[in-house]
Structure 1
Amino acid sequence: MRGVRVKRGAMSRPAVAMHSLVFLCAQKVVSHYTTLQDALDFIPKELYPVLFKAAFLDKRTPSLQQLVETWPFPVLSFQKLLRKCQHCEYALIREKPNKLCIQAIILGVVTYLTKLLEERHSSKRYRAFHFPSKGKGDKGQRLKVLDMTGLQDEGQGPESMSLWSRTVTLAKACLDISKQQSKYMRRTSKRRKGPYSTTLTLPIPHPVWVDVWVDLFVNSTSYGVLKDALQVNSINALRLRCRDFRAEELSIASTVGLLEFLDPVGVRQVDLRFNNLGLSGLRVVLPHLAKFTNLASLKLPYSNIDVRRLTVGMEGSLQYFANQLSRLKCLKELNLGSSRLSGKLRQLLGDLHSPLESLELAFCYLLPSDFAYLSQSHHTPALKKLDLSGNNLSDVLLHPFLGLLTESASTLLHLDIMECRLLDTQLNALLPVLSRLSRLRYLGVFGNPFSAVGLKNLLHRTLGLPDLRLVIYPYPVDCYGEDLPWPPTSSNLLNGAVDEEKFSRISNELQQMLLSGNRTDVVWTTNLCRHNSLDYFSL
């Protein structure tokens, strides 16, 4: 049965939700831990997924741990279990992960593995495993893969668990299992020796393992514990399998050391930021990325690259950088934000075999020659995401930029041009091209000195974009005091005092325009943090 309406008080979810009768029953079962324990022997395994989602939704952590310990399938995937389904319309995978729920799940896997290791290495279970009786005997290992990828990591609150915390918690769990495994192996080694140190020919226990697919975030504080966990990864019963790897504030040696421990096949994204690598550091790090045969995304923002005054040695390093990028055959996303790349885009991107689908060049001091190259390159017709924030598009770059947008009009889904010094005059030139971006979903124009009239024109010209869902717009210059310098810089706009009453009035007018245009599905906001921009892998 379906169609039962249930009221909930959570602010991040609809007040009225559709739950099936099966889900309502699952909520009741997981609300009583002892009842769940008694019922698990009689519950069909097909009901485990709905029980898991009900326990996660209602934060029934003891029940959640028990379900993980007895999970009857080889794979437990967050992305599959926490998505919108026929029994519950909540897509929990899109919400901030609850700290206690994540801890309960990890503890459930650790407890499951600890019990399994004990069984496999105890003498009684040892014999039962190799010489099973006609009774139940050893049923073998059930859970083999825990997939924790896809959880949100933006705007963490006191009850949620950040990616950094998940990384540390999992690393510690791996080390705990490694200690348990070593203890059981020492026991086995002692049992193998008979009287007078003669060795008994007892069989070797079958290996026990669970692979945890996870996104990892490490900095100087968590480096030690993650390195220790990865060092025992190949022989450990709880093994980390990294999908997306992010490192901040690490030395070159530490970065390289961790990259060497990662599985070369599973990694799809490497994000190295605030590491002060420079061209010399990148020369050391980049060769270690070639082993990641499925690497689709490389992010190197804030890497302290400045090509405007190249020495002979730096020129060689820049060419080496370009050569290493060309070795990444599956690369589809590249972020070089906050690097001074003036006039060097052709050299850096010209040898890439496959076209990029996401290119982030924020605050890169680009020149007209860079835009000329991009407009003619094989990347532009494939671009889905483009970030040119912080480049001055108000002067000589405006027309090359319009040409670039025209070339990518049929594919572009995400456009960031924040803090580009665009005035109403440039916006008017931009509007005809913007209105032809028929697939655009996200537009970021925050930090540009637009007037209220300019913003209304922007809203009016984009009403016809059917896929547009989010616009991050600036506070109109009308809302600032008379002392605002003209033309204002991004700093002037960010630090200037805004008349909240004027802004509220203009904001209401914009919302009314959306309502009149039947586009209440579009969010117009000045909030940079509350709404996440599109991730490349979700495009």
Structure 2
Amino acid sequence: MSIQAPPTLLDVVLQILLRNEALTFSFLEYLPKELFPPLFKKAFTSKQTNILRAVVQAWPFPCLPLGSLMKTPDLEILQAVLDGVDMLIAQKEKPRRCKLQVLELLNKHRNFWNIWVGTTKGNCYPRVISKTPTVEDRAVPGGKKQPLKVLVDFCLKCPDLDEYQKYFFQWAEQRKSLLQLCCQKLQIWEKPVCSVLRLLKSLEPGYIQELEVSTLWRLRSLPLTLFTPDTEYMRNRSRTNEGVELIECMYTALEERIVTTVISQLPKFSSLQHLCLKEVHFFKVSLDQVLRSLRSSLETLAITHCHLSQSDLNCLSKYPSIYQLKHLNLSGSKIFHLCARPLKVLLERVSATLQTLELDDCRMEDSQIKALLPALSQCSQLTKVNFYGNYISTSVLKNLLQHTASLSQLSLELYPAPFECYDVMGGFLVERFTQLGPELMDTLWAVRKPKIVCFASNVCLKCYERCVYIQDVCLCSCWQ
């Protein structure tokens, strides 16, 4: 029969404080700061919202990392914490014990709640803390209190916001003058809501590190006032109904204006690290203008399913802002008709940092692949390459495999079936693929010991799968 361990002194103290709210409120002024994290966590778990409100107003640390506790959005908890913040910022002078400067709502796993406070300096606080004093309020013009920073990632995937988002957005919009709303990762995938768009205009752009905007927005329902104060165009447009051709032309004009305006804001994103452009149609705006606007070094550049010109490709090797890339993704951007030399130059310049290279479905041919090989062999940090969906002969594919001899970090390699595996009509020749698979694998094993390597056909137009060779052939659904 097992004997249950007696409660620790800490457990006893927390139980007393949680059972007697009045006692807790009177003792917060004198409570050792080491007890605040476990008390907050216990009150959070048991949803004792009154204690949460009180603890927020006396929080003795620069940062309150609420997001790492909230695995799933909890409206009741959020309301309690924000009520505590409201009570705090409504006071003319901050309480003596309170050092709160940053409310972090990021859903990241931090060790703040599991360590003994003070034994690990700085690890539990976000990097934004380094921009502010750790103890005292920083003086601001006019003698006003330093605004509270609120760190949050916005991912707007659905046209309708859930209750949690609606409540937070309404709260933040009403307190814009009292807060610094700092978003490190901003994703907008669906039709924006007007109130949300008004809120996004109040974001601190210098803190945005990752920006993703989908062009799947329905432009007729997009509030153009977000990008330009001139709404006359929209009013005139609503009266026009002269057929599909005219409507499509107007879509083009709108996209030009939107892309131009978004690009004009890029210089404000001084911490931007990840830039993803998907299905962007460059009209009057070129890729050169996008890269020229950057004010920080990118870690990720993704230009996927875009229509690129030779001048667009040429600019990839011109700007130092992309010379420290870790991830380059041109998936789905057809460049079979372009000179690949600028891409070769870029690979040479990022050879010391590049970790993933995705060139799938670019429809590159032998001459373009051969142009890249010397530069590719220098990218010593590569962990993943993806060449699916390119038209490469068996001899050039073998040459490509041989040029990876020095790439010891590679853990995932995806290569296309050579074009000898297709007939003149584009039909896939399974028997030929079955013969070439082991031969290609032997070529690779002759230069190094690979980890995960796949050779695959183009995507089947019926089942949207690929035939893949790893150690044996795995056929798509249509061939099974």
In structure 1, stretches of 5+ residues that fail to align are 1-20, 83-91, 121-125, 130-136, 153-203, 306-313, 478-487, 511-525, 527-539
The amino acid that maps onto 2:374 is G
Aligned to 1:221: 159
CA 1:205–1:400: 2 relative to 1, 3 Å: closer
Aligned CA distance change for structure 1 residues 68 and 446 (closer, same or farther; 3 Å): farther
Whole-angstrom CA distance in 1 between matches of 2:403 and 2:381: 13
C-alpha contact (below 8 Å) 2:362/2:390 kept by paired residues: yes
Alignment gaps of 5+ in structure 2:
110-141, 218-253, 419-432
Counterpart for residue 144 of structure 1: 101
Q: Tell me, yes or no, if the aligned pair for 1:299 and 1:335 is still in contact at 8 Å.
A: yes
Q: For residues 12-54 of structure 1, what are the alpha-carbon distances to aligned partners after superposition, in whole Å with 9 as ceiling and x for unaligned?
A: xxxxxxxxx9x99979988999359678858642354567678
* Structure 2 CA distance for partners of 1:399 and 1:24, relative to 1, 3 Å: farther
Name the counterpart of 1:335.
302
Query: CA RMSD, aligned part only?
Result: 5.2
Alignment partner of 1:71 out of 59, 75, 80? 59
Residue 387 (structure 2) aligned to one of 409, 412, 417: 417
Cα shift readout 1:227-255 (whole Å, capped 9, x = no counterpart): 7666545314x54211122222458x999
Which of 203, 227, 230 is 1:262 aligned to? 203
Secondary structure of the structure 1 residue equivalent to 2:207: coil
1:220 Cα deviation after fit: 6.8
TM-score (norm 1): 0.53
Q: CA 1:324–1:397 in structure 2 vs 1: closer, same or farther (change >3 Å)?
A: closer
Q: Residue by residue, what CA displacement relative to the aligned partner does 1:54-92 show, whole Å, maximum 9, x if unpaired?
A: 888xx655499576565331212369xx6xxxxxxxxx9
Q: Whole-Å Cα distance in 2 between the matches of residues 106 and 494 of structure 1?
A: 45
Spell out, residue by residue over 1:277-323, the C-alpha distance to the aligned partner (whole angstroms, 9 max, x if none): 75553223211222222223222212234xxxxxxxx4xx244x523
Alignment match, 2:262: 285
The question of 1:302 aligning with 2:279 is answered yes
Q: Which amino acid aligns with 2:155?
A: F
Query: What amino acid is aligned across from residue 372 of structure 1 in structure 2?
Result: R
The alignment partner of 1:490 has SS state of coil
* Contact 1:290-1:327 within 8 A present in 2 as well: yes
Aligned partners of 2:60 and 2:99 also within 8 Å: yes
Distance 1:370 1:109 in 2: 57
Separation in structure 1 between the aligned mates of residue 205 and residue 314 of structure 2, nearest angstrom: 27
Identity %: 20
1:432 to 392, 402, 408: 402
SS at match of 1:76: strand
- Distance in 1 (CA, whole Å) between partners of 2:85 and 2:414 is 50
Number of positions where the alignment pairs a residue of Structure 1 with one of Structure 2 = 371
User: Is the CA contact (8 Å cut-off) linking 1:74 and 1:145 kept in structure 2?
Assistant: yes
Q: Deviations over 1:394-413 (max 9, x none)?
A: 64433234334124x22334
Tell me which residue corresponds to 2:182. 241
Amino acid at match of 2:84: Y
TM-score w.r.t. length of structure 2: 0.59
What are the within-5 Å matches in structure 2 for residues 26-105 of structure 1?
A: 34=18, 44-49=32-37, 61-62=47-48, 65=52, 71-77=59-65, 98-99=71-72, 103=75
Secondary structure class of the residue paired with 1:374: helix
Task: Mark the CA change 1:352 to 1:229 in structure 2 (over 3 Å): closer, same or farther.
Answer: farther
Alignment partner of 2:369 out of 394, 398, 405: 398
In the alignment, what sits opposite 1:271?
212
- For residue 368 of structure 1, report the CA deviation from its aligned partner: 7.0
Q: What letter corresponds to residue 76 of structure 1 in structure 2?
A: L
The 8 Å contact of residues 69 and 109 in structure 1, kept in 2 or not, is answered as: no
2:328 paired residue among 340, 344, 359? 359
Does the residue aligned with 1:373 lie in a helix, a strand or coil? helix
The 1:497–1:298 alpha-carbon spacing in structure 2 relative to 1, beyond 3 Å, is closer
Contact kept in structure 2, 1:419 and 1:445, CA below 8 Å: no
CA offsets 1:440-469 (integer angstroms, 9 cap, x no match) = 4x536288687564796599579857xx7x
Change (3 A) 1:273 1:151: farther
